[in-house]
Amino acid sequence: MVTSLTSGENHSRRPGEAGGGDGRPAEGPGTLAIEEILQILPHRYPFLLVDRILELEPGRRAVGIKCVSANEPFFQGHFPGRPIMPGVLILEAMAQVGAVAVLSVPENRGKLALFAGADRVRWRRPVVPGDRLQLEVEIIAVRGPVGKGSARATVEGELAAEAELSFALRPA
């Protein structure tokens, strides 16, 4: 089941819950605006690497986007004259989208999803300023406080990176 959410100033419901009640139309099934992402993830600028969640099935999968701007602080040194988004930050962006999927489950609210590892990592194309990075994560296993997700990052349908990500849930 995909959750329908609304954005706006009034957040009387918890992220991941259906409904709205603030009088504004829903942006679409399972979408989260930045204000709602900030209620779920502890990350903040410059390390928040998710701009919007396009699809959300709590505990199962999430699809998010990162609009890569020429003003990103990491481009100052990676690389001057030929800016490329560092691969480890693409991994982190995928992990943050996975964390939204896991932390949207009611019993996980208020917990932290810690990035515990990455396997089968492959970078397929560079990500540069102006790219719209689409991040898709499917949770494939959860046992107690640990789990795994299968992640893909694409730009205009072209695979940029893929990995299996491990996480651990901890009290905040």
pLDDT above 90 as % of the chain: 83
- What is the pLDDT at residue 27? 61
pLDDT at 162 over 70: yes
pLDDT at 24 over 60: no
Fold of 27-171: Thiol Ester Dehydrase; Chain A (3.10.129)
- 78 has catalytic annotation: yes
Mapped onto helix, strand or coil, the DSSP state of residue 127 is: coil
- Residue 52 makes CB contacts below 8 A (sequence gap 6+) with 31, 32, 33, 34, 37, 64, 65
* Helix runs in 10-169, H state only: 34-40, 87-103
Listed by start position, the domains of the chain span 27-171
- What is the pLDDT at residue 30? 86
Are the C-beta atoms of 149 and 140 separated by less than 8 Å?
Answer: yes
Q: How far is Cα 29 from Cα 64, in angstroms, rounded to an integer?
A: 13
Active-site position among 11, 13, 78, 111: 78
How buried is 31 (Cβ within 10 angstroms: 0-12 exposed, 13-18 middle, 19+ buried)?
Answer: buried
pLDDT tens track for 49-61: 999 999 999 999 9
